[in-house]
Amino acid sequence: MKASLIIIGNEILSGRTQDKNLSYLATWLNEIGIQLSEVRVIRDEEDEIIDTVNLLRKKYDYVFTTGGIGPTHDDITSESIAKAFNVDLETNPKALAILKEYYKDSELTEARLKMTKIPKGAELVENPVSKAPGFKIENVFVMAGIPKIMQGMLEGAKIHLSGGKPVKSESIDVFMPESFIAEELSNLQDKFKDVEIGSYPFVKDSKYGTSLVMRSSDETKLSDCKAEMELMISKLV
């Protein structure tokens, strides 16, 4: 099962805010056997959101979006998603009930009521942090951009997701430049086609090293690959 993430927000593209949702979602999806295959970061612009959602929801099993479902003028995600699915954006009675329970009447401003407008036919996704919910429409999950809220919503989205076998990973760090082991690595990759082998250089205490990362949903092949990798390294050191 494959998923994509659409990060919606000018604040990410301006460099003001460092995204933290990508790596969290990727790791979380791995654990339930879903591969994050593509991410797009786009501006808060209606046409961009509509086109991107409509393209990716056909290409992947699941699409997640983050950002733009708050109360202010620059929060246009819900409306854009409704347009993408060609449905009305309307006050959702459950969402209204949730906010009515959370806020006093005087606090339930016009701006907050904006957060109860949900595309017709969508199911709510619970927000345990600040209540205003996300939603799911077909295979698209629309979530907040604030990491804590997004993480809470993911737990609520879980019941709607069916994955495969979780992807496990093994990692070995060696203090040699990756170019010294490139040929052997390539041979190992040819031998273990079901294991994704990555090589990532690092610098630690002024010494060059390489992280060798193996990832697979087949635990036997993963451990076989790791054993051969260790043997290979012991011959090179």
Amino acid sitting at position 232: M
Give me the least distance between CB of 88 and a copy of itself, in Å please: 22
Give me the least distance between CB of 14 and a copy of itself, in Å please: 6
Closer residue to a copy of itself, CB minimum distance, 67 or 156: 67
SS3 state at 214 = strand
Nearest of 76, 32, 70, 72 to residue 53 by alpha carbon: 76
Closer residue to a copy of itself, CB minimum distance, 43 or 221: 43
Tokens of 61: 């099993």
Closer residue to a copy of itself, CB minimum distance, 91 or 169: 169
Nearest of 231, 222, 228, 216 to residue 188 by alpha carbon: 228
Give me the least distance between CB of 111 and a copy of itself, in Å please: 3
- Give every CB contact of residue 237 below 8 A, 6+ residues apart in sequence: 174, 176
Compute how many other C-beta atoms are within 10 angstroms of the C-beta atom of residue 57.
19
Give me the least distance between CB of 236 and a copy of itself, in Å please: 12
Give me the least distance between CB of 53 and a copy of itself, in Å please: 14
Q: Report the alpha-carbon distance of residue 11 to residue 145 in Å, rounded.
A: 11
Which residues bind to a copy of itself, rule: CB under 8 A? Answer: 7, 10-20, 22-28, 30, 35-43, 48, 70-74, 109-112, 114, 146, 167, 169, 178-183, 185-186, 189, 196-201, 213, 215
Closer residue to a copy of itself, CB minimum distance, 45 or 138: 45
Signed CA dihedral, 40, 44, 46, 48: sign only:
negative
Closer residue to a copy of itself, CB minimum distance, 37 or 139: 37
